[in-house]
């Protein structure tokens, strides 16, 4: 007996339907000898019944039989088999082409002519068994793919929900922000974040992650966390970018990164600071002037910490001036002819519409019209930021959610920063974070930041470094001040700044006492003697500023110790 090819020696169940008893006997003997199980049927009706009972893997079916012929039986069997592949081999002594074609049309997969040849029959059974296994594998994999796809969609939904909760705590609703962002933005990799700074002003970040779907969403999480966390703790733009860059570089696989543009809007000074890496150039509209801001840095998540370049542009930006940011979706928007919208067309839209109050809508319209019907308009990300007085932003200065915890009411902490650490570390965000643990103080984020920052800067610059604020009065003195600062900050051995913070809770509010001591020479505070410096002397020891917020400002020792009380009511 010939051995099987490809080792498909598995026992198969084979149904033999033939009205001719001697033919049936021969087939049954051949098939059994090859190691398969058989069942037999004497006509078409019997074949269908036996098919349902026996669930064969392969059917051998005589074409001409009484009651129901093989053609009809084949059609019924294929119907019963559903999407399973049950090969049907027609048994026939018919030899004209038309009859053989009829066998295949009825759903037969092959035919076997009389006299039966056992070698050919075995080869056919093996071939169809391989096909049957392949078909089963295909169905199983199809079902697996469908299942995995469902699973992935569910996961993406969850990821999007989590992401929305992380990313949308900011102030995207402020009156100075207009944006167009796909509702499925997390899946096209674009992220827009905006957050107010505790000392006033606003940070905005537009990011475009390489890749779509989960990799982009995963990268966007720490980006949003760091951006919101650090901005509301008072960190500077450069520090935030460095931190994000380092984090993304650590977590994203090679080849994945985040093209980004980060801007700081200073509403008081009417200034904008911009860092742009990897995103297309952005545009600044200053009055009737158009200024292109060239993208000049590498995307976030590529360079090592020390090589990362956080240097920024600074522009004057009067109230009413606007800046436009976008990801490459706008530039690469494609029309039916396969042409891209491109930078040239975009610049033309700006030049033609500089005076147009709704320039944002003009740009959007131009791109959508260019793409024509059915363009993928959900891939477009466009942001407009307008400079305006901070009080017109239309948002609460506090969006930090209350944790619901009562937090510490009575506590005290002491923190001392020594020697060269004074030159490299800014302890204000850290101190602010501790103070913010008192829920009632969270809404006073801005004031807290200003007080801590003022006290610490005084202690370091006037106290430790002995710089005289009078220097700052003239432009030359301003430069000299910073030159001296640079020089002295390298000789800090034995110096320190001690910060002592106490909080005492009351029924509905409390008192925060901050005492700062430095290792400097102090100053003759007796001179102040109740006559506090007027508003023109802001560069004194900031006493006026402190007094505008604190109920008590008191100096001790030789003027190197200051203590303030900040009283708050819920």
In the 3-class helix/strand/coil scheme, how is 14-49 assigned residue by residue? EEEECCCHHHHHHHHHHHHHCCCEEEEECCHHHHHH
Stretch that binds another protein, among 21-29, 138-146, 224-232, 413-421 (CB under 8 A): 21-29
Stretch that binds another protein, among 114-122, 278-286, 365-373, 533-541 (CB under 8 A): 114-122
Tell me if 23 contacts another protein by CB under 8 A: yes
Tell me if 22 contacts another protein by CB under 8 A: yes
Nearest to 274 by CA among 259, 253, 295, 289: 295
The pair of structure tokens assigned to 135 is: 């078909």
CA distances to 265, 480, 524 from 473, rounded to whole Å, are: 26, 11, 20
CB of residue 73 to another protein, shortest distance in Å: 17
Out of 118, 212, 345, 502, the only residue in the binding site for another protein (CB under 8 A) is: 118
Tell me if 414 contacts another protein by CB under 8 A: no
CA dist., res. 174 & res. 176, Å (int):
6
The pair of structure tokens assigned to 284 is: 């600044």
Residues 341-380 within binding reach of another protein (CB under 8 A): none
Residues 487-526 within binding reach of another protein (CB under 8 A): none
The angle at the Cα of 20, spanning 15 to 21, to the nearest 5 degrees, equals 80
CB of residue 114 to another protein, shortest distance in Å: 4
Out of 2, 5, 25, 80, the only residue in the binding site for another protein (CB under 8 A) is: 25
Q: Which residue has the tokens 């035919």?
A: 111
Q: Specify the residue, 32 or 151, whose C-beta has the smaller distance to another protein.
A: 32
Q: Specify the residue, 94 or 298, whose C-beta has the smaller distance to another protein.
A: 94
Out of 7, 115, 338, 534, the only residue in the binding site for another protein (CB under 8 A) is: 115
Residues 56-85 within binding reach of another protein (CB under 8 A): 64
The pair of structure tokens assigned to 190 is: 């674009």
The pair of structure tokens assigned to 525 is: 């505070």
The site for another protein, by CB under 8 A, has a size of 16
Out of 8, 20, 397, 513, the only residue in the binding site for another protein (CB under 8 A) is: 20
Burial of 276 (0-12, 13-18, 19+ CB in 10 A): buried
Q: Specify the residue, 23 or 378, whose C-beta has the smaller distance to another protein.
A: 23
Are 138 and 362 within 8 A, CB to CB? no
Tell me if 475 contacts another protein by CB under 8 A: no
Stretch that binds another protein, among 28-36, 190-198, 248-256, 268-276 (CB under 8 A): 28-36
Stretch that binds another protein, among 19-27, 155-163, 361-369, 410-418 (CB under 8 A): 19-27
Tell me if 144 contacts another protein by CB under 8 A: no
Q: Specify the residue, 44 or 440, whose C-beta has the smaller distance to another protein.
A: 44
CA dist., res. 563 & res. 501, Å (int):
10
Nearest to 123 by CA among 56, 39, 30, 57: 30
Q: What is the DSSP annotation of 126-138?
A: HHHHHHHHHHHHH
Q: Specify the residue, 35 or 394, whose C-beta has the smaller distance to another protein.
A: 35
Residues 178-197 within binding reach of another protein (CB under 8 A): none
β-pairing, 509-518 vs 561-569, is: antiparallel
Stretch that binds another protein, among 45-53, 108-116, 383-391, 537-545 (CB under 8 A): 108-116
Q: Residue 552: which residues within 8 A CB-CB, separation 6 or more?
A: 563, 564, 565
CB of residue 51 to another protein, shortest distance in Å: 22
Tell me if 93 contacts another protein by CB under 8 A: yes
Tell me if 99 contacts another protein by CB under 8 A: no
CB of residue 95 to another protein, shortest distance in Å: 10
> What count of residues does the chain have?
570
Nearest to 376 by CA among 324, 341, 349: 341
Q: Which residue has the tokens 């008590």?
A: 552
Helices of type H across 358-492: 359-371, 421-424, 428-435, 439-442, 445-457, 475-488
CA 333 to chain centre: 22
CB of residue 1 to another protein, shortest distance in Å: 10
Continuous segment of H or E residues that includes residue 99? helix 97-105
Out of 14, 16, 30, 550, the only residue in the binding site for another protein (CB under 8 A) is: 30
Interacting residues toward another protein by CB under 8 A = 19-23, 25-26, 29-30, 33, 64, 93, 114-116, 118
């Amino acid at each position: 007996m010939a051995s099987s090819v490809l080792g498909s020696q598995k026992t198969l169940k084979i149904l033999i339907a033939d009205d001719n008893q001697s033919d049936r006997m021969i087939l049954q003997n051949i098939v059994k000898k090859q190691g398969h199980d058989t069942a037999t049927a004497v006509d078409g009706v019997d074949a269908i019944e036996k098919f349902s009972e026996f669930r064969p893997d392969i059917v051998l079916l005589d074409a001409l039989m009484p009651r129901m012929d093989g053609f009809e039986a084949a059609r019924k069997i294929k119907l019963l088999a559903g999407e399973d592949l049950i090969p049907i081999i027609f048994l026939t002594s018919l030899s004209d082409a038309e009859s053989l074609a009829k066998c295949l049309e009825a759903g037969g997969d092959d035919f076997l002519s009389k006299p039966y040849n056992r070698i050919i029959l075995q080869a056919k059974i093996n071939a169809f068994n391989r096909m049957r296994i392949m078909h089963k594998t295909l169905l199983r994999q199809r079902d697996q793919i469908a299942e995995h796809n469902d699973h992935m969609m569910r996961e993406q939904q969850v990821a999007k929900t989590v992401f929305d909760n992380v990313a949308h705590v900011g102030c995207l609703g402020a009156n100075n922000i207009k944006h167009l962002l796909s509702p499925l933005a997390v899946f096209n990799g674009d992220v827009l974040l905006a957050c107010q700074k505790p000392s006033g002003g606003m940070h905005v970040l537009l990011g475009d992650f390489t890749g779509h779907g989960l990799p982009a969403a995963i990268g966007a999480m720490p980006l949003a966390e760091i951006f919101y966390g650090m901005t509301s703790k008072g960190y500077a733009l450069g520090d935030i970018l460095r931190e994000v860059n380092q984090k993304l570089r650590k977590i994203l696989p090679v080849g994945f990164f985040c093209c980004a543009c980060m801007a700081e809007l200073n509403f008081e000074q009417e200034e904008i600071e911009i860092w742009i890496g990897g995103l297309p150039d952005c545009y600044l509209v200053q009055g009737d002037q158009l200024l292109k801001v060239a993208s000049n840095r590498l995307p976030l998540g590529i360079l090592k910490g020390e090589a990362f370049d956080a240097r920024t542009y600074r522009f004057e930006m009067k109230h009413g001036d606007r800046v436009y940011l976008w990801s490459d979706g706008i530039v690469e928007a494609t029309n039916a002819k396969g042409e891209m919208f491109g930078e040239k067309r975009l610049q033309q839209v700006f030049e033609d519409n500089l005076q147009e109050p709704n320039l944002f809508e003009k740009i959007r319209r131009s791109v959508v019209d260019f793409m024509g019907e059915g363009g993928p308009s959900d891939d477009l990300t466009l942001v407009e930021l307008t400079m305006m007085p901070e009080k017109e932003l239309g948002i609460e200065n506090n969006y930090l959610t209350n944790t619901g915890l009562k937090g510490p009411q009575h506590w005290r902490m002491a923190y001392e920063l020594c020697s060269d650490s004074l030159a490299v570390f800014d302890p204000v965000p850290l101190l602010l974070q501790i103070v913010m643990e008192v829920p009632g103080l969270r809404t006073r984020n801005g004031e807290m930041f200003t007080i801590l920052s003022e006290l610490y800067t005084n202690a370091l610059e006037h106290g430790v470094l002995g710089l005289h604020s009078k220097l700052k009065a003239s432009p030359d003195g301003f430069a000299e001040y910073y030159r001296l600062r640079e020089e002295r900050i390298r000789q800090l051995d034995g110096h320190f700044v001690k910060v002592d913070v106490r909080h005492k809770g009351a029924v509905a509010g409390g008192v925060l006492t901050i005492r700062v001591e430095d290792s400097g020479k102090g100053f003759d505070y007796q001179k102040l003697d109740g006559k506090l410096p007027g508003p023109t002397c802001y560069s004194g020891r900031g006493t006026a500023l402190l007094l505008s917020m604190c109920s008590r400002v008191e100096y001790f020792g030789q003027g190197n110790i200051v203590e303030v009380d900040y009283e708050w009511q819920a």
